[in-house]
Amino acid sequence: MQARNSYIATIHGVTAGFSDVDGHGYIDMMFVAPDCLRRGVAHHLLHHIEDVAHSEGMSELTANVSITARPFFEHHGFTVQAEQHPMMLGVQLTNYRMKKNLHGDRK
């Protein structure tokens, strides 16, 4: 089983979001509560993940990112590696395999 690290962001003691990343730098989840959007929650979660990845000597972060999350990840230095079309419960979705080189500039 792959080791995973989960992180929870809170605002005034209330869960505002969470993220999960594995030992190879794959960000499996990034969620922000709807009433906490546009308050920097995802930015702080991603910044923390980057700090941990740097301290553990990782060279990159990767994620499979939804259409709506793509601009956020691009703003934070991720680039699209591939457009993907996974099937979920019989519905074809579109998402993007994205990567960030951790030896570049941080945003």
pLDDT of residue 14: 96
- SS3 letters for 2-24? CCEEEEEEEECCEEEEEEEEECC
Torsion angles phi and psi, residue 6, rounded to 5: -110, 145
* pTM greater than the 0.85 cutoff: yes
CATH 3.40.630.30 fits 4-101, yes or no: yes
pLDDT of residue 1: 41
Residues of the chain with pLDDT under 70: 1-2, 104-107
